[in-house]
Structure 1
Amino acid sequence: MYIRKLGVLTAVCAAAIALAPAASAAPGPRAACPDAGPNVLRCLTTFTPAAVRALADGPVGWGADDLVSAYRLPASAGPDTVVGISIAYDAPNLEADLAAYRAQYGLPPCTTANGCFTKVNQQGAAAPLPEADFGWALESTLDVSMVSAACPSCRIVVVEGNTPGFADLAETEDTAVRLGAKVVSNSYGAREGGAPLAYASHYQHPGVTVVASSGDTGFTAASYPAVLASTVAVGGTTLARDPDSARGWAESAWEYGGSGCSAYITKPKWQKDTHCGKRTVADVAAVADSVAIFNADAGGWLPVNGTSASAPFVAGLYGRSGRAGVAGPADLYAHASQFVDITTGHNDPAGAGKKCGGDYLCVAGAGYDAPTGVGVPNGLTGF
């Protein structure tokens, strides 16, 4: 179901409709933004309505404190880098939802009043904002939450496109940069092709690091804009506690995380893998499975999944590193040894790696592999 409604009140109604269980549907994850057809981008979040918990009951899923531990983030908050969020439609309760998340994890307030939080339309104005959409609002909530977990000191600029069309979201990218973003996160994707690639220049800004989700349908055609050589393509992992390891955590390739071999983009000189003659996705990875967010329209705390979580988290790490706008995808490969190599799992849900013949394009292994790239963060050193 693809829901679009006008205004705050109808957005809440849309949430109720979206969350109401269908009589014929089995309980389980559903796409926040189901495929709306050609010439549009799709947000990459899935959620389980039955897992929603009230504010007083607390989070379910991995929270900011878990991610700090798993990825060995420093105690110091870092600089106040501006991180841009390119997104479609309005999320009317976004600032309040972010406030609940940050309060839960002891993060400093990030508000319009203190200059940390800004939300504008695709032209950069505070009003009028686009119409509201429950699924994209859920995505927005995830994006700002993950940036906050990665970089509590970063300022956040959310730029809302009128639609998820290629042109509108390309404009949000340009606007985020114009408003001072040094890193821009894009938690959406579409199959690469001539139509989306016509807007590639909007994801190439000198002095800005652009980050994008690799996709949520496993090993398949490469996803735009992640496939662009100028973009840091972020794959997904499944995270678990492992008290028997020195790290205290275990991680494997998320079975739905996107990877692919481009049919269009020339292989960058910094990519050395040999079974894809053009650009390979992804470059790096982070948790994409069971991440906690708070969304009032959804009913409270809920776990969500998707490389939509991985990309803004990595964007926040660029912001926290102080090298946003300087570092890009090439640097990841140059500093591959500074990441935690992910050597287990695959992203071929139906065939357990058969789709790529057990190759690194869909099966994690030692060194570079397409589902997890050079690995997952180990502090900020690789960025």
Structure 2
Amino acid sequence: MQGVYGFPTSSTVGSGTTIVIVDAYNDPSAESDLAVFSAQFGLPGCTTANGCFTKVNQSGGTKYPRTNSGWALEISLDIQWAHAIAPGAKILLVEAASNSFTNLMAAEDYGSAHAQYISNSWGGSEFSGESAYDAHFTGAGVSYFVSSGDNGAPAGYPSASPNVISVGGTTLHLSSGGTLTSETGWSSSGGGCSAYETANTTQANFISTQSSQVNCSGKRATPDVSLDADPASGVSVYDSTPYNGQTGWFTVGGTSVSSPIWAARSADTAAVVNAAYVYGSSITFRDITIGNNGNPCLPGLDLVTGRGSWTG
């Protein structure tokens, strides 16, 4: 992943920042699985003992929710790849009591008060009244990242909130030697025009001034950005909490991959990576122009990969 995207390789990059991972239920082996992953890939240790890793419930306590094997794999993915891309950053895992929006937003609020970067690999279909939850993504100086979903169009929530960076998915095409030959839009990347949310001013101005082919009639366009998410070019995750009767190494995909990696790469900058940053000139994007999720990839902004993938 570092080679494909030209990401920093220093073992201390991300130092001075904290990345929050908000997920539901408990992963009892989260810390020990992270240790196995770190050893496999030559990453510095990230443990409770050295102050790098912290796990709390949605109110900051240590009475954790019940274990859920599917969410445990998700948690392992999120913390391991956040650590891989920002090995100098601290990781704060906030476990919501359940996957209800009420509990997930409580976890979001705790995370907002304790870190600069938050990754959210969860969401669902849009619904009327969703904008009432947008206030949970407004912490001062906090950068919010949300997976755009794994079911193609239409847009989902909270990906469609104008207060977050919506992260879509791509497919990496590699040579037999592992060299990138091309990157295309993933057919299952969530994206589309929001049915309820209005585009923030930054995105609206970008669309109007860039003569974008995306026309959401003033509504929020998702995703904003993208990164590898296709399970066919997925990432390695270690999980010792049994998932479908299996433990050990898994190959995992979905925009659950791209969101924590975007959060971590943002932590490497130590900047607030919000809409102004993403739609400005601070990031070098690989424009993805091939692919379709029900919407076509296009030059510039599109409803499959947004502006494209972060390179460098």
TM-score, length basis structure 2: 0.90
Query: 2:65 & 2:111 partners in 1: Cα distance?
Result: 16
Residues 205-261 of structure 1, C-alpha deviations (whole Å, 9 max, x = no match): 1110000000110011x211111111000000111224899x844211111110011
Q: Counterpart of 1:194 in 2: which secondary structure?
A: coil
**What does residue 117 of structure 1 align with?**
53
**What does residue 56 of structure 1 align with?**
none
Q: Which amino acid aligns with 1:263?
A: A
1:313 equivalent in alignment to 2:261? yes
1:197 equivalent in alignment to 2:143? no
Deviation at 1:337? 7.0
Q: Which amino acid aligns with 1:288?
A: A
CA RMSD, 1 decimal: 1.8
Query: 1:133 & 1:244 partners in 2: Cα distance?
Result: 37
**What does residue 344 of structure 1 align with?**
290
1:285 equivalent in alignment to 2:243? no
Query: 2:50 & 2:263 partners in 1: Cα distance?
Result: 22
Query: 1:282 & 1:223 partners in 2: Cα distance?
Result: 10
Identity %: 39
Q: Which amino acid aligns with 1:280?
A: A
Query: 1:308 & 1:176 partners in 2: Cα distance?
Result: 18
Q: Which amino acid aligns with 1:227?
A: A
Describe how 1:187-336 pairs up with structure 2 within 5 A. Answer: 187-220=121-154, 222-242=155-175, 248-271=180-203, 272=207, 273=212, 274-277=214-217, 278-289=219-230, 290-296=234-240, 297=242, 298-323=246-271, 326-335=272-281
Query: 1:191 & 1:201 partners in 2: Cα distance?
Result: 18
**Contact 2:288–2:305 (CA under 8 A) maintained in structure 1:** yes
Q: Counterpart of 1:339 in 2: which secondary structure?
A: strand
Q: Which amino acid aligns with 2:6?
A: R
**What does residue 68 of structure 1 align with?**
2
Q: Which amino acid aligns with 1:303?
A: T
Describe how 1:87-102 pairs up with structure 2 within 5 A. Answer: 87-102=23-38
Query: 1:83 & 1:337 partners in 2: Cα distance?
Result: 20
Residues 339-381 of structure 1, C-alpha deviations (whole Å, 9 max, x = no match): 1111111113xxxxxxxxxxxxx111221111111110112xx
**Contact 1:235–1:259 (CA under 8 A) maintained in structure 2:** yes
Structure 1 gap ranges (5+): 1-66, 349-361
Q: Which amino acid aligns with 1:250?
A: S
Q: Provide closer, same or farther for how the CA distance between residues 110 and 249 of structure 1 changes in structure 2, counting only shifts above 3 A.
A: farther
Q: Counterpart of 2:172 in 1: which secondary structure?
A: strand
Q: Which amino acid aligns with 2:70?
A: G
Query: Size of the alignment, in residue pairs?
Result: 294
**Contact 2:185–2:305 (CA under 8 A) maintained in structure 1:** yes
Residues 151-199 of structure 1, C-alpha deviations (whole Å, 9 max, x = no match): 1111100001111111100010111122x21011000011121354322
**Contact 1:197–1:224 (CA under 8 A) maintained in structure 2:** no
Flag the structure with larger Rg: 1
Structure 1 window deviating more from structure 2 (230-239 vs 71-80): it is 71-80
Query: 1:264 & 1:205 partners in 2: Cα distance?
Result: 22
Residues 83-130 of structure 1, C-alpha deviations (whole Å, 9 max, x = no match): 00111000000111111111111000000100100000111012x100
1:159 equivalent in alignment to 2:73? no
Deviation at 1:81? 0.9
Residues 285-317 of structure 1, C-alpha deviations (whole Å, 9 max, x = no match): 011122210111231111111101100000001
1:363 equivalent in alignment to 2:296? yes
Q: Counterpart of 2:279 in 1: which secondary structure?
A: helix
Query: 1:75 & 1:293 partners in 2: Cα distance?
Result: 19
Q: Which amino acid aligns with 2:19?
A: V
Describe how 1:6-25 pairs up with structure 2 within 5 A. Answer: none
**Contact 1:209–1:231 (CA under 8 A) maintained in structure 2:** yes
Residues 48-80 of structure 1, C-alpha deviations (whole Å, 9 max, x = no match): xxxxxxxxxxxxxxxxxxx11011012333223
Query: 1:83 & 1:182 partners in 2: Cα distance?
Result: 7
Structure 1 window deviating more from structure 2 (186-195 vs 203-212): it is 186-195
Describe how 1:5-84 pairs up with structure 2 within 5 A. Answer: 67-76=1-10, 77-78=12-13, 79-84=15-20
**Contact 1:243–1:249 (CA under 8 A) maintained in structure 2:** no
Query: 2:181 & 2:39 partners in 1: Cα distance?
Result: 25
Q: Counterpart of 2:98 in 1: which secondary structure?
A: coil
**What does residue 141 of structure 1 align with?**
76
